[in-house]
């Protein structure tokens, strides 16, 4: 079965194409910011923004369920893990920037523009039904593909994630016990 | 104006490069972990792009419907698992050396 030889038609809907290009550029920019920023908290914020932008990209070209999982599970879990690490180690200081400062207003404006763009593109292209020659590809078929066709893989992923959660939890718990036994060393 | 497989693969490659830069060039354990996450995300984007623009994405194509999306889902799950373990190790490094530097034990 040829994979590359049967390329489907590219996306040509102007608002959708513009939106995808914008999301791609913002994704790369946020990833670069995350890598280059010295402040760990800001880097984590940029990282979460990158994952959210990847979710927006999924909204345009992937099944809707993948977008939902990426945005609601992967992004939130990753951000929560990162923030948890900061709280356990260096701590999180209260922000010196007030809630109505210029930075917040600019950020809110950018978020509002992006949201408006999502709404416009959603209205034009009738999401979550995918635009394309092959027709509709939405949640039910994707969910059944995961649960019916990939049971073993799904079980392996569950075991992997469970082991990771257990292992990291035990590691952190053992660290706490060491910290209690030797308080002077931990400051 | 259009966008197809090539555009998404270029973006995926750029994200992979950013992640590789973070892993190779930065000493901060947290930044290194972020880099690995970007590399996972780049792989997932490539999966999704191939699923959208090749016959893999066609429903009913030899039973491979949604295969790319499923793979992206699994890649994301594995990435989260890797992040959990990596962050625990970063916490270990910090508590031993009061620093996130991955080579802190050399000092």
Classify residue A132 by burial, with Cβ atoms within 10 Å: 0-12, 13-18, 19+: middle
B18-39 burial, b at 16+ Cβ within 10 Å, e below that, comes to: bbebbbeebebbbbbbbbbbbb
Architecture field, domain B5-106: Orthogonal Bundle (1.10)
Assess whether pLDDT exceeds 50 at residue B70: yes
Selecting from A43, A51, A54 the residue whose C-beta is nearest the C-beta of B31 gives: A43
Q: State whether residue A174 sits within 8 Å of chain B by CB.
A: no
Q: What is the pLDDT of residue A187?
A: 42
- The pLDDT mean for chain A works out to 76
Q: Map out the domains of chain B as residue ranges.
A: 5-106
User: Taking the C-alpha atoms of A87, A89, A95 and A96 in order, what is their torsion angle to the nearest 10 degrees?
Assistant: 160
Q: State whether residue B70 sits within 8 Å of chain A by CB.
A: yes
A141 is a domain residue? no
Which has the higher per-residue pLDDT, A136 or A88?
A88
Tokens 């992006």 correspond to what residue?
A: A114
pLDDT tens digits along A158-170: 887 787 778 777 7
Per the confidence metrics, is the pTM higher than 0.80? no
Residue A153 tokens, joined: 């893989």
Specify the number of domains making up chain A: 1
ipTM of the complex: 0.88
Q: What is the pLDDT of residue A14?
A: 83
pLDDT tens digits along A118-132: 777 766 665 554 444
A154 is a domain residue? no
pLDDT tens digits along A26-69: 999 999 999 998 888 889 999 999 999 999 999 888 887 888 88
Specify the range with the lowest mean pLDDT, choosing from A82-96, B34-48, B75-89: A82-96
User: Among all residues of chain B, which has the CA nearest to that of A176?
Assistant: B95
């Amino acid at each position: 079965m040829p994979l590359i030889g049967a390329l489907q038609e590219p996306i040509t809907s102007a608002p959708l194409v513009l939106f995808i290009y914008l999301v791609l550029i913002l994704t790369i920019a946020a990833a670069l910011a995350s890598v280059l920023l010295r402040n760990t908290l800001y880097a984590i914020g940029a990282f979460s923004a990158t994952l959210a932008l990847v979710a927006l990209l999924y909204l345009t070209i992937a099944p809707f369920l993948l977008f939902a999982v990426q945005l609601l599970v992967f992004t939130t879990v990753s951000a929560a893990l990162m923030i948890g690490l900061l709280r356990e180690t260096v701590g999180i200081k209260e922000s010196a920037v007030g809630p109505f400062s210029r930075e917040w207003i600019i950020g809110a404006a950018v978020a509002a523009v992006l949201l408006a763009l999502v709404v416009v593109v959603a209205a034009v292209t009738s999401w979550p039904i995918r635009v394309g020659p092959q027709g509709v590809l939405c949640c039910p078929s994707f969910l059944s593909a995961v649960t019916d066709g990939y049971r073993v893989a799904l079980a392996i992923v569950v075991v992997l994630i469970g082991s990771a959660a257990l292992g990291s939890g035990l590691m952190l718990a053992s660290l706490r016990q060491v910290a209690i036994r030797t308080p002077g060393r931990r400051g | 104006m259009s966008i197809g497989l090539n555009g998404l693969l270029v973006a995926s490659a750029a994200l992979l490069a950013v992640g590789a830069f973070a892993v190779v060039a930065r000493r901060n354990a947290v930044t290194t972990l972020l880099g690995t996450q970007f590399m996972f995300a780049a792989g997932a984007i490539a999966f999704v792009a191939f699923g959208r623009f090749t016959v893999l994405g066609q429903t009913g194509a030899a039973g491979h419907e949604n295969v790319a999306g499923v793979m992206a889902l699994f890649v994301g799950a594995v990435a989260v698992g890797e992040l959990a373990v990596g962050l625990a190790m970063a916490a270990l490094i910090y508590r031993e050396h009061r620093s996130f530097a991955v080579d802190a034990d050399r000092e």
